[in-house]
Chains A and B, each alone.
Chain A
């Protein structure tokens, strides 16, 4: 495709998003469908453009220049919009543009039946408008090539998602939304300040100019800017300890929008962070890489442990997002550290693994949230303890969810496994010749990632087995029916996406060499790194053929005709859902093993029914999971703020003279500073 065709496609994808938003405003029964269809189609165009550029030979698409034929006199074109701003996609941002577009396609299709079904709960029109605007914000952030554009679209994205969290208007959602608003704006403020420090206060500086200016900064300014950017981008990605907003906000957002936020939205801060690190700053200090690594590892461990003990499906998946973002940041941290310590191969491989995990995470997490939407509306509860039995009632749908859950647990041969394999294998390879600092970091990484991978499997198996298998635990779950095609197809396709991404990982790795790094040593069939090789497609073929041969043997040599259905053996009594293992019980060993960290509090209340026999009693158990961050960080900070506000409140004593005196004082101070 020629550059101008791609440019037109890009414009169509952005304008289409806006048109979808406008269509949603029309008060007509078909507006909802039309809006989502337009959104899906324009996002599809966007996906084609993004994938073409990401897999292309490294051309950069700059708007508006690319729309015009090359002028003979070399004249350039500008649009009188936003101070002649230039928008563009290079190979690196094209990866993220593809992620956003692909996820949007599936979410828009899913939204058609989902929102109609939820009409009593949400205002469909506003959710549609907000979703389209959110996508517009995501596209804008990626396309921006300067600070003001980036920050403007960042704000559009943040404010729109604030309203999305607020969508059902409940008290819980209001609380979550304000927490989100505060956290996201503290983050945005930090990013803005960081950018200004890097650019020396110039609002309109282009990112490419910024790269030059940054080299001339004083060390202190540079360090402060880096710290601010890490806090800003890190808090938006849900890194511990800035993650508190994430489970709350994810818990309240409608699923169609949530899949977009959790799949595509969460990769945007990652994009910003990598954009700064790889293209703008000349090299980071040691403390910075160690901080990134530590924050990432901490988030991965904390996220996965809370995911294991969480019993609310939405929040479980939210914690899994914290875990995955933690892993990605840990990979970036290792890449930075390895770069400083002279292990260039590891830098490359870790960055590739981070990008690949981001790709895979976008696919499986949006798929899982879409699936959670189906499971939760079928069982009318977010608690895993009220689900169960969905696999028997909805076999097609639940098979897709099983695949997604295994993908999220990084099982072979799905995408996330390849990312973790690449990372761990490269670490093992790099250990041979690593410097002492790096060696310590790498050994810790090996142990931690192994732990996180194991726990992630625990969390995902728990989610799937308790939520979907065995007897239904509620009447609603008992009457669940297989969802319609428009709902299932996006989920199935996202599950396939995770599989295909894994199988064709060598190809994908080959093409995300966007960062001008030498391409990882990948043949057409296998990934080679750190002295190990992995051929995902052959692994899949081998595993598949083993299963196939077994199935064939079973058909030929054993009795498949005679089969009896009988109740589960339970010491002679009939089995009821109340006897099933619950999510709480399932994760009990982990809660016990990590009780020093998780600080769960269990309270059992026993009320005797028969006065003479204390053993015949009704028991109720409550389990609360305390969060260290709330108790130690946010609550004290809140107290401090309230105290300060009370102190400041004393100024507001209602006397006009005093206020005028204050104004005069302020004027004096200003004059002294100004002169």
Chain B
């Protein structure tokens, strides 16, 4: 199949599935906690409503308030375009260099933080400070984690990492130390997406929130953009982790009729499995006190470092 078509399919699938992923997580969580819960497709309706609403702009804010949603959303869309989520070997695959992806993620966080501070409330500032801490301390972990994959697969694009390990179970069997890097990747994904145990996405209580605090003063279309950016990021990370962990192949340039359908179906299955796992996690463990998050981040860091060290050792032997 044409690489352009591949990227187009992935973009359409991811962009349209994104609201579902946050809806599904909330739905699973509600069921696990014995509530009935809202329908998984509620976010579609919510976003559509927000888009029609009037925008309220804070009197304390500057142009940053209006610019930030575009940059934050663009950072998420960038991930959805370049990473191997539904398809591998798309036309933009060469942009999925892991150092670039890490930097674009950080760029999105930086603008989110600046938007949080721009409205001048202590809520926004507190969320911003926390988000900045998490995002900046994660940088080294992301680099080390993907460096281990790069070493094991001999390529630096995330697309290439998944393509060269077309069957993940083989990759893990031949390089079991990558398990540590996989765990690090999962920890990174939880922290990046403001999920448990780093943040509680369901509260509006100043003691617990990180992401919500920064976007408190957004409304209407801007709020829709901010929310959509975060659910898009969740979708991207869920599928990325799934693709590293689960052995079903992605759609490639050589795929034909049946395997295309299979890849599309599996995308949905993977998403459901990962989101269910997230909901299960969030229903069983407690959120960490923010000042203990450093332990979580340090744990992720050493996990990634050990993964890389073992990868190097195994090369020596």
List chain A positions with a Cβ less than 8 A from chain B.
Answer: 389, 391-392, 395, 398-399, 402, 406, 409-412, 417, 420-421, 424-425, 428-429, 431-432, 436, 439, 443, 446-451, 453-455, 457-458, 461-462, 464-466, 468-471, 530-535, 538-539, 542-543, 546-547, 550-551, 554, 557-560, 562-570, 575, 577, 579-581, 585-590, 592-593
The answer to whether B73 and A425 touch across the interface, beta carbons within 8 angstroms, is no
CA distance A118 to B151 in the complex (A): 56
Restricting to B115-134, which residues have a CB under 8 Å from any CB of A?
Answer: 117-126, 128-130, 132-133
CA distance A577 to B120 in the complex (A): 7
- Nearest chain A residue, comparing its CB with the CB of B92: A542
| Residues from chain A with Cβ under 8 Å of B94 in the complex | 533, 535
- Nearest chain A residue, comparing its CB with the CB of B216: A569
| Residues from chain A with Cβ under 8 Å of B77 in the complex | 546, 550
B17 within 8 Å of A (CB atoms) = no
- Nearest chain B residue, comparing its CB with the CB of A458: B136
- Nearest chain A residue, comparing its CB with the CB of B120: A470
Contact of A534 among B100, B104, B135 (CB under 8 A): B100
The answer to whether B120 and A471 touch across the interface, beta carbons within 8 angstroms, is yes
Q: Which of B118, B121, B216 has the most CB of A within 10 A?
A: B121
The answer to whether A564 and B54 touch across the interface, beta carbons within 8 angstroms, is yes
Chain A nearest CB, measured from B285 CB (Å): 22
B110 within 8 Å of A (CB atoms) = yes
The answer to whether A454 and B120 touch across the interface, beta carbons within 8 angstroms, is no
| Residues from chain B with Cβ under 8 Å of A562 in the complex | 54-55
The answer to whether B151 and A447 touch across the interface, beta carbons within 8 angstroms, is no
CA distance A398 to B54 in the complex (A): 28
Contact of B107 among A412, A462, A465, A581 (CB under 8 A): A412
B220 within 8 Å of A (CB atoms) = yes
The answer to whether A424 and B154 touch across the interface, beta carbons within 8 angstroms, is no
CA distance A454 to B95 in the complex (A): 21
| Residues from chain B with Cβ under 8 Å of A454 in the complex | 106, 135-140
Chain A nearest CB, measured from B272 CB (Å): 28
Contact of B113 among A465, A531, A534 (CB under 8 A): A465
| Residues from chain A with Cβ under 8 Å of B165 in the complex | none
Chain B nearest CB, measured from A329 CB (Å): 20
Query: Given the interface contacts A412-B107, A443-B309, A566-B56, does A585 sit within 8 Å of B142 by beta carbon?
Result: no
Query: Given the interface contacts A392-B62, A470-B118, A564-B54, does A431 sit within 8 Å of B110 by beta carbon?
Result: no
Query: Given the interface contacts A465-B118, A581-B129, does A443 sit within 8 Å of B60 by beta carbon?
Result: no
B99 within 8 Å of A (CB atoms) = yes
Contact of B120 among A455, A535, A568 (CB under 8 A): A568
The answer to whether A568 and B59 touch across the interface, beta carbons within 8 angstroms, is yes
The answer to whether B113 and A581 touch across the interface, beta carbons within 8 angstroms, is no
The answer to whether A579 and B120 touch across the interface, beta carbons within 8 angstroms, is yes
Interface residues of B, CB < 8 Å — how many? 81
Query: Given the interface contacts A395-B62, A546-B78, does A465 sit within 8 Å of B114 by beta carbon?
Result: yes
The answer to whether A565 and B57 touch across the interface, beta carbons within 8 angstroms, is yes
Query: Given the interface contacts A432-B154, A469-B117, A563-B54, does A581 sit within 8 Å of B122 by beta carbon?
Result: yes
B274 within 8 Å of A (CB atoms) = no
B23 within 8 Å of A (CB atoms) = no
| Residues from chain A with Cβ under 8 Å of B107 in the complex | 406, 411-412
| Residues from chain B with Cβ under 8 Å of A535 in the complex | 94
Query: Given the interface contacts A465-B114, A581-B124, does A424 sit within 8 Å of B99 by beta carbon?
Result: yes
Q: Which 9 A-B pairs have the closest CB atoms?
A: A581-B125, A450-B140, A454-B139, A454-B136, A532-B156, A391-B62, A470-B120, A450-B143, A465-B117
B186 within 8 Å of A (CB atoms) = no
| Residues from chain A with Cβ under 8 Å of B73 in the complex | 550
CA distance A447 to B60 in the complex (A): 39
Chain B nearest CB, measured from A571 CB (Å): 9
| Residues from chain B with Cβ under 8 Å of A461 in the complex | 110, 113-114, 132
| Residues from chain B with Cβ under 8 Å of A550 in the complex | 70, 73-74, 77, 225
Contact of A470 among B70, B117, B137 (CB under 8 A): B117
The answer to whether B140 and A579 touch across the interface, beta carbons within 8 angstroms, is no
14 A-B contact pairs sorted by A residue (CB < 8 Å):
A411-B103, A431-B147, A431-B151, A446-B147, A450-B141, A451-B139, A454-B136, A464-B114, A470-B119, A539-B100, A559-B220, A560-B221, A565-B56, A581-B126
CA distance A431 to B154 in the complex (A): 10
CA distance A16 to B103 in the complex (A): 43
Beyond the given A450-B142, A454-B140, A465-B128, please list 11 additional residue pairs across the A-B interface where CB-CB is below 8 A: A392-B61, A424-B143, A443-B305, A453-B139, A454-B139, A531-B156, A533-B94, A564-B55, A567-B58, A575-B120, A580-B121
The answer to whether B139 and A579 touch across the interface, beta carbons within 8 angstroms, is no
CA distance A535 to B94 in the complex (A): 9
Contact of A447 among B62, B95, B140 (CB under 8 A): B140
B290 within 8 Å of A (CB atoms) = yes
The answer to whether A457 and B136 touch across the interface, beta carbons within 8 angstroms, is yes
CA distance A569 to B215 in the complex (A): 11
The answer to whether A534 and B120 touch across the interface, beta carbons within 8 angstroms, is no
| Residues from chain A with Cβ under 8 Å of B155 in the complex | 531
The answer to whether B100 and A406 touch across the interface, beta carbons within 8 angstroms, is no
- Nearest chain B residue, comparing its CB with the CB of A590: B133
The answer to whether A533 and B60 touch across the interface, beta carbons within 8 angstroms, is no
B312 within 8 Å of A (CB atoms) = yes
The answer to whether B140 and A451 touch across the interface, beta carbons within 8 angstroms, is yes
CA distance A579 to B60 in the complex (A): 12
B163 within 8 Å of A (CB atoms) = no
CA distance A446 to B151 in the complex (A): 13
B202 within 8 Å of A (CB atoms) = no
Contact of A563 among B55, B110, B117 (CB under 8 A): B55
| Residues from chain A with Cβ under 8 Å of B53 in the complex | 559
B209 within 8 Å of A (CB atoms) = no
The answer to whether B154 and A531 touch across the interface, beta carbons within 8 angstroms, is yes
Chain A nearest CB, measured from B250 CB (Å): 21
The answer to whether A580 and B120 touch across the interface, beta carbons within 8 angstroms, is yes
B81 within 8 Å of A (CB atoms) = yes
Q: Which of A398, A451, A469, A531 has the most CB of B within 10 A?
A: A469
B25 within 8 Å of A (CB atoms) = no
CA distance A31 to B299 in the complex (A): 63
CA distance A585 to B122 in the complex (A): 10
| Residues from chain A with Cβ under 8 Å of B56 in the complex | 563-566
| Residues from chain B with Cβ under 8 Å of A557 in the complex | 51
| Residues from chain A with Cβ under 8 Å of B52 in the complex | 558-559
B308 within 8 Å of A (CB atoms) = yes
- Nearest chain B residue, comparing its CB with the CB of A395: B63
| Residues from chain B with Cβ under 8 Å of A532 in the complex | 97, 99, 156-157
Q: Which of A436, A443, A568 has the most CB of B within 10 A?
A: A568
B18 within 8 Å of A (CB atoms) = no
Chain A nearest CB, measured from B113 CB (Å): 6
CA distance A465 to B114 in the complex (A): 6
CA distance A567 to B294 in the complex (A): 35
Chain B nearest CB, measured from A458 CB (Å): 4
B217 within 8 Å of A (CB atoms) = yes
The answer to whether B129 and A567 touch across the interface, beta carbons within 8 angstroms, is no
Contact of B139 among A450, A464, A465, A468 (CB under 8 A): A450
- Nearest chain A residue, comparing its CB with the CB of B308: A443
- Nearest chain A residue, comparing its CB with the CB of B113: A461
B150 within 8 Å of A (CB atoms) = yes
CA distance A531 to B150 in the complex (A): 9
Contact with A along B150-183 (1 / 0, CB 8 A): 1100111100000000000000000000000000
The answer to whether B129 and A588 touch across the interface, beta carbons within 8 angstroms, is yes
B317 within 8 Å of A (CB atoms) = no
Chain A nearest CB, measured from B296 CB (Å): 12
B64 within 8 Å of A (CB atoms) = yes
CA distance A580 to B121 in the complex (A): 5
CA distance A445 to B182 in the complex (A): 22
| Residues from chain A with Cβ under 8 Å of B135 in the complex | 454, 457
Q: Which of B64, B123, B130, B301 has the most CB of A within 10 A?
A: B64
B45 within 8 Å of A (CB atoms) = no
Chain B nearest CB, measured from A527 CB (Å): 11
Chain B nearest CB, measured from A254 CB (Å): 28
CA distance A625 to B78 in the complex (A): 40
The answer to whether B70 and A547 touch across the interface, beta carbons within 8 angstroms, is yes
